[in-house]
A and B are shown apart, each in its own frame.
Chain A
């Protein structure tokens, strides 16, 4: 992942020639806005979370790729801080509706689905049942220790993640278009937990394993802990801006047929690998395309490169496979399978373009 502090401004719309009516200029303009939104989000989150730049970028990729992310980390390592900072960075430009900008749910074994989706409550004034929105109605939802609750609740949440709606008493309620789940789980303390089955982990774009932060960052955390934070100079990002950015990225970051072939070939090779019991799903590839586009944007490009594919494939696929006992390193298996498709992808640039891209 790019560790650059700012997104390079290769996409400066002024660089492309043409008048205001030029569609290229229009496209450049909206892509430029997407760059600015990502930049603002990143800067704001980084103010609150130190030493986690790569994780922040991955979270933002998941956000802008319209997916969800699962953080696997030890307690007290900044997961909540990160999620909260992200939630606070997105302004609710529709205060009238029932949707909050940030909610946090701590999953416990006795939690019930209605605790997160909401429940029908009898209103004595109107003598009717009214739906009381649960915490799931939010832009950014932090689900702490997702593996501590029963599969019933997990399923309710996962339906919401996939469909962006919840059904209570046979009435479906739409969630916000910007519905982003940051789930966490503790990798070590597994006694009394309900591990997520592969089919449910498959809903998450990434499963990010957060490492301990480095010494300098940890010292800075100690210094700044408890002191009131100076208000961030950058403006918050509105919900609509994020939605627009998503659309711009989907529409305008170039991804060729060759890239898709590379993804499909890698998945096929992984499924054929004898170390892999259950191969990756097609959903993984579907989710991978916007992720690749977002990553390319983060790296200052309006086209997806083979380097993006090489970087993202292990993150995208490792957690979705079931390996035979004894095979540990899923990322290594993914990289080995991706070698030949990646090589073909790189070589394709030396030949004349067949025109099949985008």
Chain B
């Protein structure tokens, strides 16, 4: 069932952490559950996916997808550059493997915040930590809310864009702020813990090799710190980092205890192997430890801005160590050797855009760009087409009006308008008057096409230049008809047709 759930999600992702040598492929089952809703009670679901944490081949072909956006409310940068967004923890050893136990790990929020805000059962100490408020916007469904380690309060907020984000909530986290050496001298298990808790956090497989190996590692520690819990834990961390080899190509096979196969075999594995090996070794020394699952985001190579885009391939598993007076400490293993290349950089543009959406900016930040105005080509094209059509129609209207003008004109204007109409006809047929050509020469030139044109021209000139013998309109009308007939006879029909539909021919009439 857990395997089915994994196959169903597009993000079963293999994290490659660009964190020193710590690269970890994973399919930790962090996402892909049914959509979380505010107030949705998701109490348990413990251990349902733990079977699938160890797999031999997690090579993913699909490019990583964004799964969540975190907005840092304060100016904060992690000392090692990695932000750990924890979603679940595995602390209960059930005789086979580590599984989730929400009752024990009450400091880890297991459900999305509803109307009431969540507070953890165990408190991280206030002295060694700084408070970092963040707001999470989930882009895909998660069974439990990821939150920056170690969350102490969750509160639901309005989803600024429900189509974009599936959930939004505020987180207040306490992040360790003191260097590791200051914590030396702290016991791992407080004296106040009941025996059941101690058993819970120190249970490990019944395999003597864990204790043997752990003792061997611890024997190398400087005798001055040989009894110190944190010094022992650091020795184990150094051992795993030095001896382990981070890879996604595994040949452990599905044994009963994959961790043993990894740790006592070739020590080749990914984050789940390293986390489990570290937890078992720590527990074999009597230290309280558990496995945390979530996303680890390298922020050193990020650009500015408070938005942190979490990609699916950032999924990660890491050990957590408990220290008295401090709380749970992220205790990640960074193997020195690996065959996994560095992860590609985050798409900063997408990160910025989603950040703007999360901040209620409906334009996603585009409105502030000076070059955001674009030429509305479609509107320009339509307007141009409409203008063109209007101009064509107007041109045809003028052409028709000029052609019809003689019939409507007064008697004294008839001669001139009839001549203009004839000239229009001549021009559209390509027989227009040339520049500086006199009207008589124009008429004489066209004598073969229109033998009556010279007479018509003479009548027109007589009328317009004040001859005492003004031409008779009826005579002019006859001449116009004769010229029209002659033109029809002497020109090709196609030429006449082309001339007739040319809307602008009258522009060249002179």
Contact = CB atoms under 8 A, between A and B. Distances in A.
Interface in B389-438: 413, 416, 419-420, 423, 433, 435-438
Interface in A329-358: 338-340, 342-343, 346-350, 352-353, 357-358
Contact of B466 (A11, A15, A256, A352): A256
B413 A302 contact: no
B504 interface: no
A348 B420 CA distance: 12
Given A339-B435, A346-B510, A352-B413, A307 B464 contact: no
A349 B465 contact: yes
B410 to A, nearest CB: 10
A302 B510 CA distance: 24
A342 B466 CA distance: 18
Contacts of A294: none
B510 A347 contact: yes
Nearest to B434: A343
Q: Is chain A's interface secondary structure helix, strand, loop, or mixed overall? A: helix
Contacts of B368: none
Interface in B24-63: none
Contacts of B97: none
A28 B439 CA distance: 25
Interface in B445-494: 458, 460-462, 464-469
A305 B440 contact: yes
Contacts of A303: 461-462, 465-467
A310 interface: yes
A349 B466 contact: no
A15 B438 CA distance: 27
A252 interface: yes
B441 interface: yes
Interface string B184-223: 0000000000000000000000000000000000000000
Contacts of A15: 469
Given A254-B466, A350-B416, A358-B466, A307 B439 contact: yes
Contacts of A302: 467-469
B459 to A, nearest CB: 11
Interface in B161-176: none
Interface in A254-295: 254, 256
Given A339-B435, A343-B435, A304 B440 contact: no
Contact of A27 (B462, B468, B510): B468
A24 B460 contact: no
Contacts of B466: 254, 256, 303, 353, 357-358
A301 B471 CA distance: 13
Contacts of A24: 468
24 contacts: A11-B469, A15-B469, A16-B468, A27-B468, A28-B469, A254-B468, A302-B469, A303-B465, A304-B465, A306-B438, A307-B439, A307-B441, A310-B438, A342-B438, A346-B433, A346-B510, A347-B510, A348-B464, A349-B416, A349-B439, A349-B464, A350-B420, A350-B423, A352-B416
Interface of B: 413, 416, 419-420, 423, 433, 435-441, 458, 460-462, 464-469, 509-510
Interface of A: 10-11, 15-16, 24, 27-28, 252, 254, 256, 301-307, 309-310, 338-340, 342-343, 346-350, 352-353, 357-358
